């Protein structure tokens, strides 16, 4: 995929996700506002019902007192200049036992003296029952009671359990949150719950009470200290949608990461193919030239020339076979598993053998190879073949990546329960930005078609995997034109090792 296509795809997907996130945010905002509106409606309705109950109770209590006066032998009510007499002849010969507004069942004596038993399940039934029995006298009682001097709010709410009244109305309207309440008239609190001040909240609701009184300025207040928490709890049904959105964002980020990484790997593999082509091209061209020379009649008549050409073909064939085996080995590591053959290995002996092997190559380039085997404890649990290849790979790179006479030093030393093998050279060095990339498969410091150094960029990837499989780590310090230092750190046998006996590449 081209770079431009990746950018366009990323922008389109990013805009789509941003739009989705915006819609989700608006959806959550709308849901939150809707929950608040529903809650406000339920609370205000509960307040209206509670206030209506208190006012109805107050009126009925006054009606009860008025009807008790009507049962006297003669009652006179003055309305302006006219006297109105109510006597026993009107049917009030027998006592009228009125129900209390908090009770559901009462024995009621009608005006004719006949006893009836009934259920009056609500204040409305009770009020209608009184009105039916008093007839026109019901209005007289109300006029009489409400023409008297207005009573205080304390007197009118006396005996009312506001906590119970409000709690029942709130539950009936679906509000289960904790609440505190108070009745306030002007700047004075008449009644309030225990924690009204301590649990003040922004969620405060109020309604004026006893509107029938011209002088009443009392209001009933409700607060809900835990309302934000309760409201958030109520929208947990939206949580799956939020989780899905987060997963989409993570998947988008992962896809972009994979695309960019694949693009990078593609570039590295292209570089690898270019290098591999060059590595194969030289021996193939040499063999082809040797074959053409053997067709020359003069060469065919000279046995020495034939032997020389045959030697060239043999050497180039070996070189070509070696390169093919390296590529096949890498493919094998990529697609299959490899089991480590672990045993106790003395690293000083391994390093000493490699120093002997590589000393001739270093001397051929006019350089020097130094060994400093200072580790007193050098025994590790390892696969001897692969550990040998690891150190060999580092020495090979130290020779190849040096444009002058190489000076290479190999150290072994102990640090705690670990052994450290250090390979130090005076080569071309590695840029800081490339030091994290050199352990990736196919990566080479030289890029493009620049072939100052032969190879496929496979060695350090192999080194890192083998070292980590043995429970160790590899560290690098380098600077351009100042050489490099590679430290292989492995746990000693005496230390409990975390070794991967089966290694996946």
In this predicted structure, what is the pLDDT of residue 372?
94
In this predicted structure, what is the pLDDT of residue 347?
94
User: What CA dihedral angle connects 450, 456, 460 and 463, to 10 degrees?
Assistant: -160
Residues 131 and 246 reside in one and the same domain = no
Domain stops at, among 334, 349, 364: 334
Q: In the predicted model, what is the mean pLDDT of the chain?
A: 74
In this predicted structure, what is the pLDDT of residue 409?
95
Q: How far apart are CA 281 and CA 447, in angstroms?
A: 18
In this predicted structure, what is the pLDDT of residue 345?
93
> Which of the residue ranges 90-99, 140-149, 328-337 has the most confident prediction, judged by mean pLDDT?
328-337
> Residue 242's domain is classified under what CATH number?
1.10.287.130
**Dihedral sign for Cα atoms in the order 137, 143, 148, 152:** positive
Residues 352 and 408 reside in one and the same domain = yes
Q: How far apart are CA 215 and CA 349, in angstroms?
A: 108
In this predicted structure, what is the pLDDT of residue 407?
93
Between residues 340 and 123, the one the model is more confident about: 340
Residues 495 and 353 reside in one and the same domain = yes
Supply 70's token pair: 């009507």
Contacts of 126 by beta carbon, 8 Å cutoff, 6+ apart: 60, 99, 101, 120
Residues 364 and 493 reside in one and the same domain = yes
Query: Above 50 in pLDDT, residue 94?
Result: no
Averaged pLDDT, 476-490 = 92
In this predicted structure, what is the pLDDT of residue 494?
66
Domain stops at, among 190, 206, 234: 234
In this predicted structure, what is the pLDDT of residue 374?
93
Averaged pLDDT, 248-258 = 86
Residues 7 and 140 reside in one and the same domain = yes
Residues 217 and 259 reside in one and the same domain = no
Residues 59 and 133 reside in one and the same domain = yes
Query: Above 70 in pLDDT, residue 127?
Result: no
Confidence grade of residue 203 (pLDDT, cut at 50, 70, 90):
low
Range list of β-strands (E), 359-406:
368-373, 379-382
> Which of the residue ranges 82-96, 168-182, 184-198 has the most confident prediction, judged by mean pLDDT?
168-182
Confidence grade of residue 142 (pLDDT, cut at 50, 70, 90):
low
Range of the domain at 330: 237-334
Residues 226 and 246 reside in one and the same domain = no
Query: Above 60 in pLDDT, residue 84?
Result: no
Residue 378 is given by DSSP the state: -
Between residues 172 and 29, the one the model is more confident about: 172
Query: Above 70 in pLDDT, residue 210?
Result: yes
Query: Above 70 in pLDDT, residue 12?
Result: yes
Q: How far apart are CA 274 and CA 421, in angstroms?
A: 33
Confidence grade of residue 13 (pLDDT, cut at 50, 70, 90):
confident
Domain stops at, among 208, 234, 260: 234
Averaged pLDDT, 355-380 = 90
Confidence grade of residue 392 (pLDDT, cut at 50, 70, 90):
confident
> Which of the residue ranges 139-148, 185-194, 203-212, 418-427 has the most confident prediction, judged by mean pLDDT?
418-427
Query: Above 90 in pLDDT, residue 208?
Result: no
Helix segments in 71-188, DSSP class H:
123-134, 136-147, 153-156, 162-172
User: Percentage of the chain with pLDDT > 70?
Assistant: 68
In this predicted structure, what is the pLDDT of residue 88?
37
In this predicted structure, what is the pLDDT of residue 261?
81
> Residue 412's domain is classified under what CATH number?
3.30.565.10
Supply 397's token pair: 């790179």
Between residues 198 and 209, the one the model is more confident about: 209
Query: Above 80 in pLDDT, residue 140?
Result: no
Query: Above 50 in pLDDT, residue 86?
Result: no
**Dihedral sign for Cα atoms in the order 305, 306, 307, 313:** positive
What is the reported pTM?
Answer: 0.44
Of the CA atoms within 13 Å of residue 332, those in its CB half-sphere come to: 8
Averaged pLDDT, 215-234 = 71
In this predicted structure, what is the pLDDT of residue 147?
47
Confidence grade of residue 114 (pLDDT, cut at 50, 70, 90):
very low
Residues 313 and 370 reside in one and the same domain = no
In this predicted structure, what is the pLDDT of residue 264?
77
User: What CA dihedral angle connects 450, 453, 455 and 461, to 10 degrees?
Assistant: -100
Return the number of other C-beta atoms located less than 10 Å from residue 137's C-beta: 21
Between residues 217 and 457, the one the model is more confident about: 217
Q: What is the pLDDT of residues 446-458, one digit of tens each?
A: 533 334 555 545 5
In this predicted structure, what is the pLDDT of residue 90?
36
In this predicted structure, what is the pLDDT of residue 313?
85
Between residues 125 and 486, the one the model is more confident about: 486
> Which of the residue ranges 14-23, 180-189, 301-310 has the most confident prediction, judged by mean pLDDT?
14-23
Residues 226 and 242 reside in one and the same domain = no
Q: Which of 145-149, 313-317, 499-503 has the lowest mean pLDDT?
A: 145-149
> Which of the residue ranges 125-129, 144-148, 407-411 has the most confident prediction, judged by mean pLDDT?
407-411
In this predicted structure, what is the pLDDT of residue 489?
95
Confidence grade of residue 113 (pLDDT, cut at 50, 70, 90):
very low
- b or e along 373-392 (b: 16 or more beta carbons within 10 Å of the residue's beta carbon)? bebeebebbbbbebbbbbbb
The kind and range of the H/E element at 229 are: helix 227-234
Domain tally, the chain: 3
Query: Above 70 in pLDDT, residue 255?
Result: yes
Distances in whole angstroms, Cα of residue 70 to Cα of each of 76, 110, 333, 389: 9, 14, 109, 118
Between residues 458 and 240, the one the model is more confident about: 240
Residues 78 and 148 reside in one and the same domain = yes
Residues 108 and 56 reside in one and the same domain = yes
């Amino acid at each position: 995929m081209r770079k431009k296509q990746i950018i366009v795809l990323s922008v389109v997907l990013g805009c789509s996700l941003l739009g989705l996130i915006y819609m989700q945010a608006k959806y959550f905002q709308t849901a939150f506002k809707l929950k608040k509106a529903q809650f406000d409606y339920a609370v205000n309705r509960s307040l209206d019902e509670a206030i209506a109950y208190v006012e109805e109770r107050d009126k009925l209590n006054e009606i009860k007192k008025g009807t008790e006066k009507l049962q006297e032998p003669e009652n006179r009510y003055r309305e302006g200049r006219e006297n109105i007499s109510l006597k026993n002849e009107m049917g009030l010969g027998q006592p009228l036992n009125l129900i209390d507004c908090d009770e559901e069942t009462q024995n009621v004596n009608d005006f004719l003296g006949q006893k009836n038993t009934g259920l009056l399940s609500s204040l409305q039934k009770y009020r209608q029952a009184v009105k039916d029995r008093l007839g026109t006298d019901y209005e007289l009682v109300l006029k009489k009671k409400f023409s008297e001097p207005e009573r205080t709010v304390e007197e009118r709410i006396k005996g009312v359990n506001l906590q119970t009244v409000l709690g029942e109305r709130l539950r009936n309207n679906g509000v289960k949150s904790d609440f505190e309440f108070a009745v306030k008239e002007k700047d004075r609190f008449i009644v309030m719950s225990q924690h009204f001040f301590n649990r003040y909240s922004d969620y405060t609701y109020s309604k004026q009470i006893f509107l029938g009184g011209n002088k009443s300025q009392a209001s009933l207040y409700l607060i809900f200290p835990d309302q934000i928490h309760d409201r958030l709890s109520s929208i947990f049904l939206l949580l799956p949608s939020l989780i899905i959105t987060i997963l989409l964002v993570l998947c988008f980020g992962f896809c972009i990461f994979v695309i960019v990484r694949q693009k990078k790997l593609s570039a590295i593999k292209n570089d690898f193919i270019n290098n591999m082509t060059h590595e194969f091209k030289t021996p193939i061209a040499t063999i082809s030239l040797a074959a053409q020379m053997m067709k020359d009649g003069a060469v065919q008549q000279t046995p020495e020339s034939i032997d020389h050409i045959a030697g060239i073909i043999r050497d180039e064939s070996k070189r070509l076979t070696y390169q093919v085996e390296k590529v096949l080995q890498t493919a094998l590591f990529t697609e299959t598993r490899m089991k480590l053959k672990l045993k106790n290995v003395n690293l000083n002996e391994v390093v000493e053998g490699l120093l002997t092997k590589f000393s001739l190559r270093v001397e051929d380039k006019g350089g020097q190879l130094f060994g400093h085997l200072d580790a007193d404890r050098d025994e590790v649990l390892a696969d001897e073949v692969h550990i040998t290849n690891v150190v060999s790979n580092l020495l090979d790179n130290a020779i190849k990546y040096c444009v002058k006479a190489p000076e290479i030093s190999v150290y072994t030393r102990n640090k705690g329960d670990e052994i450290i093998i250090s390979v130090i050279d005076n080569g071309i060095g590695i840029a800081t930005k490339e030091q994290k990339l050199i352990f990736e498969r196919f990566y080479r410091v030289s890029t493009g078609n620049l072939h100052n150094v032969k190879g496929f960029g496979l060695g350090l990837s192999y080194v890192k995997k083998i070292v980590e499989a043995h429970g160790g780590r590899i560290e690098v310090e380098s600077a351009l034109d100042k050489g490099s230092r590679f430290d292989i750190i492995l746990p000693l046998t005496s230390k409990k090792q975390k070794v991967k006996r089966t290694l996946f590449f």
